[in-house]
Amino acid sequence: MFRLPIPAILQVCMRPFRYGLIILLFLLSHEAMAQQAILRGFVTDASNEQPLQGATVALRAGSELVAGTATDGDGYFVLNRVSPGRYDLVVSYVGFADWSESLNLSSGDVREFSIALAMRAAEIDELVVEAEAVGGITTVAAGLETVVPAAINRVPVPGVSGDLASYLQTVPGVTVQGDRGGQFFVRGGAVDQNLALLDGLPVYMPFHVLSFYSAFPEELVDRAAFYTGGFGAQYGGRTSSILDVTARNGNKQNLAGSVSIAPFLSAVTVEGPLVPGRVSAIFSARQSFVEELIPDLFGQRMPYRFGDRFGKIHALVGGSHEMSFTFLDTDDRGDIAGSKKSVFGDAEATTIDDSTEVAWENTVFGGTWIYRSNRIPLVSRLTAGRSEMTNAFGPDGNPEREATVESVEASLRLSWLLNNGDVSVGSTLRKTDLGYTLDDLFTEFTTSAEELTELQAYAETTLDLLGDKASINPGVHLYALTDRSQSWVEPRVRLSVWPTGREGRHQINASWGIYHQALTGLTDERDLGNLFTAWITTPEGQEAMESMHGILGWNVQVLPWLSGAVEAFYKDYDHISAPIFSPFPRFTTTLQEATGLAYGADIRLNLENRPFLMESVLDGNVSYTWSTVEYEAGPYTYNPAHDRRHQLNALLHAQKGEVGLTIQWQYGSGLPFTESGGFDVWYLLTPDVDVSSEAGVDRIVYSEPFGGRQPTYARMDVWLERRVERGRYIGTLRAGVLNLINRANLFYYDLFTFSRVDQLPLIPSVGFKMELR
């Protein structure tokens, strides 16, 4: 791939800012003379003063649309560079009465608005349908899933609120180990090739030990961009996927919040104004009680403890500045062995086995400053913060293995808004400290500490072409390891085409890009159902991991209530840091280069607002994914542990009045694993060992890597929910059953003792939630 020496890439990184400053100074002087008008303000729900995100703001001169935009998560909008004249400002939102006002704008006018929309009772149902439809799985665009809270809420979880983790499991191409584990694989990529961001800061292990939950519950998510591949020039440092989550800012008008009680996860959220209309705060705390309330259920122990704490303060400073501070803390601990079963299926003793305990913690905090110019169409964003993760395996307080990742970073993004798109440049500097301790007799290195400094810069543009029938997003990402004098230039492009216009039935999407990654996660090939990862840098003398993505997709509106999408993807990996395979059990820290190939296709159907039995409404989705992942390392060609060939997801929801019924079904073909080939007896050959009298240590001998396949995975969940709204108060009662068919899905298998651990059995769940909007 393209290579530049470090001094050269630094010069290239600075050029966009140098030239941008010159252009900015010129345009500032130009705008100072032009003195065009500016319109800005907030749009809220008149009944509760809640911000309305996505409201349409249009400026018209007669029947001609002069300018338009949509409100952000705070209900905020801004229209820059408006020429003097007479206009009508019109604000609309589905389910609400339109608001309009006639304006006579003069040079230099800065108009501020506080617009409260009144709900139209006759369109309440339409409002609900529209809110849910925004985040349907068929809205995919060349690997990009745009997720909103209403979409998250469509996928029930044990408890009451929705969670982003459960929604992601319905996305084609996403593979999970099952009900527990907290590990996600995306379209052929390994766990360490995914990057999760919260308000621009990395969260290294964002998912909880039970896979239904993450650090991103429905109540805290404003929106999320999930790239299963083909992400644009803005992102870097990972070779498979990006999950970019923006947290809500909190209510700036009224005190609001919610309390939910459920055995699996209980939560409390409080939000409200610190300075009405200007400064808000939102805080959340969640904690599981499954271990305390149902420690032994249907013959299986439930030794899992997890929770998270979140806080965010957001402030509007003047008419152009925003500032926010975000904090996140998570903790997980569980015994992955759970209740073991013998090879004959009999449950064994349920005593806790500390040697199979796993734990991890995340701490993330940082701030963001956003500036929207009143004079020119410029938006700048500065983010800085710190992220830390600790992963441990073994007894609490004395783990056998422990790994840490600590990073500090700062990033700057500048966006110039055009009439038909935008131009953006940005840069990120991240310093990461890595360390691990492996108390293992068979490990070459028991302790290690490393540092990594990454410099990233990018430039990209989004342009609407062909009379608004096409949108293209080309860009280039520059990735440098300053302490290794290594650098890469990564071209990227994304494209969408609407053959009959954006209101038509068809949309064609494509993306392509080159990506590099200097971090690698070490896992133990002995663990079937592994949850421990030790992060290291690419070994000296080895190229950083590289991948090339290609995605092509087609979306179609088949009927007013039925939409579909088809996507094919191709990922070519090079310089993968793979452990050198050994026929004997060991945590391998000796690595070799491997190449990889992942490709496949998925089909999606989405059903919306379809009249059903007894005046109810039906919606849901179904998706099927076929894919193949293949690695080549040394003399071996094999399918790694995340190669799931077939996956099927289906969700059906029926709503009648305040009562809803949801049925969800998941199926996945078996994942690869390394089978045992036999046993031997091992001796530590030191002068004081007498092999004629010492008993030695029994040791397993492995067969070829990943030559076997686990059993298939299948689960059906059923949920019944009643939601009652009374003004600002909402009460929700949800009851359901996990794994209704009580299938014995495999989670963990000890090849040495021939004992197995299954995924969750049939488990009833009930929860209650009270909200104040």
DSSP bridge pairs for 596: 573, 631
How many other CB atoms are there within 10 angstroms of residue 349's CB atom? 7
Question: Binning pLDDT at 50, 70 and 90, where does residue 29 land?
Answer: very low
Scan for tokens 């939409």, then name that residue. Answer: 563
**Which residues have CB under 8 Å from 444's CB, separation 6+?**
588, 589, 590
User: What is the arithmetic mean of pLDDT over 484-502?
Assistant: 92
The pTM of this model reads: 0.85
How far apart are the C-alpha atoms of 84 and 31, rounded to whole Å? 14
DSSP 8-state assignment for residue 533: -
Strands 729-738, 300-301: pairing is unpaired
How far apart are the C-alpha atoms of 229 and 462, rounded to whole Å? 18
User: What is the arithmetic mean of pLDDT over 462-477?
Assistant: 90
The pLDDT value recorded for residue 129 is: 33
Over 50: is that where the pLDDT of 209 sits?
Answer: yes
Give residue-wise pLDDT tens across range 597-654: 999 999 999 998 888 888 889 999 999 999 999 999 888 899 988 899 999 999 999 9
Over 80: is that where the pLDDT of 23 sits?
Answer: no
How many other CB atoms are there within 10 angstroms of residue 196's CB atom? 25
Q: Burial, 171: exposed, middle or buried (Cβ in 10 Å; 0-12, 13-18, 19+)? A: buried
The pLDDT value recorded for residue 134 is: 45
Percent of all residues in the chain with a pLDDT value above 90, rounded to a whole number? 43
The pLDDT value recorded for residue 650 is: 96
The pLDDT value recorded for residue 525 is: 54
How far apart are the C-alpha atoms of 564 and 605, rounded to whole Å? 4
Exposure string for 465-499, b = 16+ CB within 10 A, e = fewer: eeeeebbbbbbbbbbbbbeeebbbbbebbbbbebe
Distance, C-alpha 215 to centroid of its chain: 10
Over 70: is that where the pLDDT of 577 sits?
Answer: yes
Over 70: is that where the pLDDT of 14 sits?
Answer: no
Scan for tokens 């229209």, then name that residue. Answer: 79
The pLDDT value recorded for residue 668 is: 93
The pLDDT value recorded for residue 292 is: 73
Over 70: is that where the pLDDT of 1 sits?
Answer: no
The pLDDT value recorded for residue 688 is: 73
Question: Binning pLDDT at 50, 70 and 90, where does residue 445 land?
Answer: low
Over 90: is that where the pLDDT of 270 sits?
Answer: yes
Give residue-wise pLDDT tens across range 738-770: 899 888 888 877 777 777 778 888 888 899 999
Give yes or no for a contact between 249 and 199, defined as CB atoms under 8 angstroms apart. Answer: no
The pLDDT value recorded for residue 75 is: 75
Give yes or no for a contact between 330 and 284, defined as CB atoms under 8 angstroms apart. Answer: no
166's enclosing H/E stretch is: helix 164-168
Give residue-wise pLDDT tens across range 391-443: 988 777 778 888 999 999 999 999 887 767 789 999 999 999 999 887 654 45
Give residue-wise pLDDT tens across range 369-390: 998 876 777 889 999 999 999 9
Give residue-wise pLDDT tens across range 332-362: 988 776 555 444 445 454 444 545 788 999 9
User: What is the arithmetic mean of pLDDT over 261-277?
Assistant: 91
How far apart are the C-alpha atoms of 556 and 498, rounded to whole Å? 10
**Which residues have CB under 8 Å from 195's CB, separation 6+?**
202, 235, 237, 238, 241, 242, 243
Give residue-wise pLDDT tens across range 74-125: 677 878 778 899 999 999 987 788 999 999 998 888 888 888 898 775 443 3
User: Distance between the two ends of the chain, CA-based, in angstroms?
Assistant: 53
Q: Is 657 helix (H, G, I), strand (E, B) or coil?
A: coil
Q: Burial, 741: exposed, middle or buried (Cβ in 10 Å; 0-12, 13-18, 19+)? A: exposed
Give residue-wise pLDDT tens across range 116-166: 898 775 443 333 333 333 445 567 788 899 888 888 888 988 888 889 999
Mean pLDDT score of the chain, rounded to an integer? 83
User: Phi and psi at residue 238, in whole multiples of 5°?
Assistant: -135, 155
How many other CB atoms are there within 10 angstroms of residue 312's CB atom? 22
Give residue-wise pLDDT tens across range 506-523: 999 999 999 999 988 877
User: What is the arithmetic mean of pLDDT over 462-482?
Assistant: 91
How far apart are the C-alpha atoms of 41 and 71, rounded to whole Å? 9
DSSP string, 106-145: -TT-EEEEEEEEPB-GGGHHHHHHHHHHTT-GGG-BTTEE
Amino acid at 129: V
Over 80: is that where the pLDDT of 275 sits?
Answer: yes
Give residue-wise pLDDT tens across range 584-605: 666 666 678 889 999 999 999 9
Scan for tokens 């890469």, then name that residue. Answer: 488
**Which residues have CB under 8 Å from 725's CB, separation 6+?**
none
Q: Which residue, among 432, 409, 201, has the nearest Cα to 325 in the 3D structure?
A: 201
